[in-house]
Amino acid sequence: MLLRHSLSLTISNSQLVFKTLIYALIVFIIVAALFVTISTPILEALGEELDLAQSADKVINELFEGEGKIFERVFNAIENIRTDHRTELIKASIFGAILIVLVKFFIAWVVCPIAFILNKKMGSNFISGFLHSVVSVGWKRSLAYAAIYTLISAPFDIAVALGAYYLAKWMVGGIGLLGLIIPIVFALVMITLRMSVMGQWISHLVNEDIKFSLIFKRAFKAGFKMLPKTFTHMLSLNLIIYAIMASTALFTVGIIPILMIPFALVVSVALHLVAYYRENDKKYYVDEHIVEVPQNINE
Q: Report pLDDT digits (tens) over 184-204.
A: 999 999 999 999 999 999 999
The residue with greater pLDDT, 46 or 26, is: 26
Q: Confirm if 288 and 12 have CB atoms less than 8 A apart.
A: yes
Measured distance CA(126)–CA(123) in Å, rounded: 8
Residue 182 has pLDDT above 70, yes or no: yes
Residues 6+ apart with CB under 8 A from 264: 237, 241
The chain-wide mean pLDDT, for the chain, equals 79
pTM: 0.81
The predicted pLDDT at position 298 comes to: 40
The predicted pLDDT at position 133 comes to: 63
Q: Which helix (H) or strand (E) holds 135?
A: helix 130-137
* Main-chain dihedrals φ then ψ at residue 17, nearest 5 degrees: -65, -45
The predicted pLDDT at position 193 comes to: 95
CB atoms within 10 A of CB 55: 16
CA distances from 230 to 122, 192, 274 (A): 18, 10, 10
Q: What is the DSSP letter of 127?
A: P
Measured distance CA(277)–CA(255) in Å, rounded: 34
Q: Confirm if 270 and 234 have CB atoms less than 8 A apart.
A: no
Q: What percent of the chain has pLDDT over 90?
A: 24
What's the pLDDT tens digit per position in 230-252? Answer: 999 999 999 999 999 989 988 88
The predicted pLDDT at position 185 comes to: 93
The predicted pLDDT at position 104 comes to: 87
The predicted pLDDT at position 54 comes to: 52
The predicted pLDDT at position 61 comes to: 57
Least confident of 55-59, 73-77, 98-102, 111-115: 55-59
Residue 111 has pLDDT above 90, yes or no: no
Q: What percent of the chain has pLDDT over 70?
A: 74
**pLDDT class for 255, splitting at 50, 70, 90?**
confident
